[in-house]
């Protein structure tokens, strides 16, 4: 890095200041080289590769990447669809808590309290969403902005959650890696101690992007908020937009589509040129100009007479070859960069069969499970549940000691239910998996499902109703199974006291059992 005139001028008065200036310029250069999407120039080699820390690479680039990603999501249909695919698959209808207390009374009181707090807008300080709506808001912001803040508030309305965009973090507060008081360090608005543990965040009082805003600051202890982001590297304190690997592809693809559209418009403008070897025809007489203006437009079925020496040359419009192949290739790269499938990004299932569709779906499902259990649940759902327990204690007077929660994500839709259910059944029968595990994979709580099945069967039995969907009564072939009966006859000399089950045709659905 060369010394500039300003560097030399600063060094003339203060060599120490010049050294610090050069150090910070070097850091800034490393930052701009870290993420391609944050650059204002392009490179064609590996000279931009750096060995900077996770926080050094995100410093400066985080803001640029966030703004570019937001713009792409607002204006690019594929970027918008990619974000929607992530949110709908990670959250869906909501990741539901299975709350358990130390006894049945406590469990019932906690579940009733959750219906009042989590299933209504009481949990939202803005009064717009229930807890599942807040989950969706979190998953919209994290891929787009890279992070989001969930504030835990105690106010007259109770104990609520307030979501703040990452813009609220005072990113310019940065000690540059220098410890304060030999203990704490501020990195991009986050204060950490000498061990790297987060102590507090510096937040604006209001959103800095408002037209009229008050940019007061406050330092909020880490116990009063939850910072949700995907940590790509150990020690990373700020999140980066998930769109950073595909922003350049989205921009190039958008320009390609615009160029193709212009080319197609030019092709639609069918043109013809009149050529002549008559020198008099080039004269700018008023009669000749008026005649040519009147005959300058082409129309269907039109017949024109040409003067002596004139001819017609038709224009050859440009052709666009390989448009569909190029689009599919770029869109597959964008889908891969976001961690979703090509079909989820484009809604194009033209060339998908059961095997390829299921393989892609399983790969996408693994990413979703990682985002759920590695980020959303431990960073947002679990801390929010602890906030809910405090609300139960303070507001409702419920003893929450011994309470626990198990989060149940929404079930996965099956691509081919007949084949997939058969695969589950075979896995259970062969001992490759358990019934409870198979139920959990479908997004249900096994204990609740078994209890519901038992209650339903008891009601049917009490009414004497047999459904052809009841495997206890009807075989897979649709035959009615006769209950085993005691054999009290000794005439046959058979010592067996139990008669074998018999299968008889089922007469109807539903029907009374004998």
Give the whole-angstrom CA distance, residue 17 versus residue 4: 14
Residue 430: per-residue pLDDT: 93
Rounded to an integer, the average pLDDT of 189-208 is 91
- Give per-residue pLDDT as tens, 18-35: 666 666 665 555 554 555
For residue 510, whether the previous peptide bond is cis, meaning omega lies within 30 degrees of 0, is yes
Q: Which of 381, 358, 384 is nearest to 371 (CA)?
A: 381
Reported as half-sphere exposure (CB side, CA atoms, 13 A), residue 479 has a value of 9
Residue 192: per-residue pLDDT: 92
- The whole model's pTM is what? 0.73
- Give per-residue pLDDT as tens, 66-116: 999 999 999 999 999 999 999 999 999 899 998 999 999 999 999 999 999
Find the DSSP H helices in 205-274: 247-268
In degrees, rounded to 5, the angle at the alpha carbon of residue 197 between the alpha carbons of residues 195 and 200 is 130
Spell out the residues 6+ positions from residue 60 whose beta carbon is closer than 8 angstroms to its own: 28, 31, 32, 38
Spell out the residues 6+ positions from residue 330 whose beta carbon is closer than 8 angstroms to its own: 249, 252, 253, 256
Reported as half-sphere exposure (CB side, CA atoms, 13 A), residue 432 has a value of 6
- Give per-residue pLDDT as tens, 286-328: 666 666 666 666 666 666 666 677 777 776 766 667 788 889 8
CA 449, 435, 506, 489 dihedral sign is negative
Find the DSSP H helices in 14-76: 15-34, 54-58, 61-75
Structure tokens at 127: 């009064």
Structure tokens at 394: 């303070």
The residue ranking higher by pLDDT, 429 or 46, is: 429
Question: What are the extents of the domains in the chain?
Answer: 258-323
Q: Which of 220, 222, 238 is nearest to 230 (CA)?
A: 238
């Amino acid at each position: 890095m060369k010394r500039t005139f300003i560097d030399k001028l600063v060094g003339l008065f203060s060599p120490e200041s010049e050294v610090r200036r050069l150090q910070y310029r070097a850091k800034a250069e490393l930052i701009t080289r870290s993420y391609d999407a944050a650059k204002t120039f392009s490179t064609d080699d590996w000279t931009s590769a750096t060995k900077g820390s996770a926080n050094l690479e995100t410093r400066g680039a985080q803001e640029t990447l966030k703004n570019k990603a937001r713009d792409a999501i607002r204006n690019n249909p594929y970027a918008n669809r990619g974000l929607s695919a992530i949110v709908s698959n990670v959250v869906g209808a909501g990741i539901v808590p299975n709350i358990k207390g130390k006894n049945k009374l406590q469990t019932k009181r906690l579940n009733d309290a959750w219906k009042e707090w989590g299933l209504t807008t009481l949990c939202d300080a803005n009064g717009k969403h229930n807890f599942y709506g807040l989950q969706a808001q979190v998953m919209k912001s994290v891929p787009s902005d890279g992070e989001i803040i969930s504030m835990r508030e105690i106010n007259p309305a109770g104990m609520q959650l307030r979501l703040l965009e990452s813009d609220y973090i005072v990113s310019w507060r940065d000690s540059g890696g220098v410890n304060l008081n030999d203990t704490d360090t501020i990195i991009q608005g986050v204060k950490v101690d000498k061990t790297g543990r987060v102590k507090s965040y510096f937040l604006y009082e209001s959103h800095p992007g408002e037209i009229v805003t008050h940019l007061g600051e406050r330092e909020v202890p880490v116990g009063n908020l939850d910072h949700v982001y995907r940590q790509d590297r150990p020690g990373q304190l700020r999140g980066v937009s998930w769109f950073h690997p595909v922003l350049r592809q989205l921009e190039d693809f958008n320009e390609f589509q615009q160029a193709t559209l212009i080319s197609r418009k030019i092709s639609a403008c069918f043109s013809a040129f009149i050529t002549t070897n008559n020198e008099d025809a080039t004269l700018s007489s008023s009669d000749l100009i008026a005649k040519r203006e009147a005959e300058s437009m082409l129309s269907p079925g039109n017949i024109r007479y040409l003067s002596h020496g004139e001819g017609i040359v038709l224009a050859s419009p440009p052709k666009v070859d390989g448009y569909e192949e190029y689009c599919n290739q770029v869109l597959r790269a964008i889908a891969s960069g976001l961690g979703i499938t090509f079909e989820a990004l484009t809604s194009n299932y033209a060339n998908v069969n059961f095997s390829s569709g299921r393989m892609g779906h399983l790969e996408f499902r693994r990413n979703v499970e990682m985002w759920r259990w590695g980020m959303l649940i431990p960073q947002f759902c679990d801390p929010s549940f602890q906030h809910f327990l405090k609300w139960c204690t303070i507001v409702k007077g419920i003893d929450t000691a011994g309470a626990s929660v198990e989060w149940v994500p929404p079930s996965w839709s099956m691509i081919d239910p007949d084949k997939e259910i058969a695969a589950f059944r075979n896995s259970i029968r062969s001992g490759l998996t358990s019934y409870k595990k198979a139920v959990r994979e479908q997004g249900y709580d096994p204990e609740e499902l078994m209890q519901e099945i038992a209650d339903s069967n008891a009601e049917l039995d009490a009414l004497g109703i047999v459904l052809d969907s009841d495997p206890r009564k009807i075989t897979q072939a649709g035959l009615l199974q006769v209950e085993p009966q005691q054999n009290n006859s000794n005439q046959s000399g058979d010592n067996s006291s139990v008669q074998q089950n018999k299968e008889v045709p089922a007469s109807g659905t539903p029907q009374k059992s004998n």
